Amino acid sequence: MSVSLRLRLIAMSEVCTERPVLSPTKKTKKPTRDQKNMSMDSLKDVYIDQLLDLHSANNQSAKVTAKLREAATDTELKEALQRGEDGIKEGMKVMKSISESHGKQGESEHCKGMEGLVREAEAHALDETFGDDDTRDAMIITQYQRMAHYAIAGYGCLAAFANRLGLEDERQQIQECLDACYSGDKGMSELAEGGINKAAV
């Protein structure tokens, strides 16, 4: 076998056995919405996206609010958390109903923003060690209000979108959710300032 032929065979062998180099750290991101069927092309697309997001947020916050209620010791706080949980579930129904009226399933989105707030609530109000029940109650109010403020921002944006899109019936439903959320947040502040924070000092 000639030298030139031998070199050609070696080169062909190297090409056939060559493998692509894959990055060990590169991961495929899991989509948080049905990206194949939903493109952000208009305000209505943003509106529907945020309906789905808030449905997921409510679903997550309702579950942890129930846990916060069980951990609370102040009777009035327990009652307020129960009302809050009921209000959150009502908001879920409204978000689901409106989403479905636009041909979207409420369960198709996962809200990572609320996921983070729920983890914070669990870490700081449920898993943390407290030497005093009033101190835990004060922390429970703190974590609940952080989640409530997320919902208030969400409902406020949705109400504005619905108004701009001329969806008056939907705007009214969303406004009722927003008003209930404001009321619950105000009630929590009154509980904290009315005695729980003082008792935790």
Q: Tens digits of per-residue pLDDT, 110-155? A: 999 999 999 999 999 999 999 999 999 999 999 999 999 999 999 9
pTM of the model: 0.80
- End-to-end alpha carbon distance in the chain: 92
Q: Minimal CA–CA distance to 83: which of 187, 157, 13? A: 187
Extended beta strands in the chain, E state? none
Q: How does DSSP classify residue 55?
A: H
Q: What's the rounded Cα separation, in Å, for the pair 69 and 81?
A: 6
Cα of 160 vs its chain's centroid, Å:
20
Q: Tens digits of per-residue pLDDT, 51-109? A: 999 999 999 999 999 999 999 999 999 999 999 999 999 999 999 999 999 999 867 78
Q: Give the pLDDT of residue 109.
A: 87
Report whether pLDDT(15) > 50.
no
When pLDDT is cut at 50, 70 and 90, the band that residue 34 belongs to is: very low
Q: Minimal CA–CA distance to 56: which of 33, 85, 40, 38? A: 33
How many residues are given for the chain?
201
Q: What's the rounded Cα separation, in Å, for the pair 49 and 41?
A: 11
H or E element at residue 16: helix 3-17
CATH class of the domain whose range is 40-200: mainly alpha
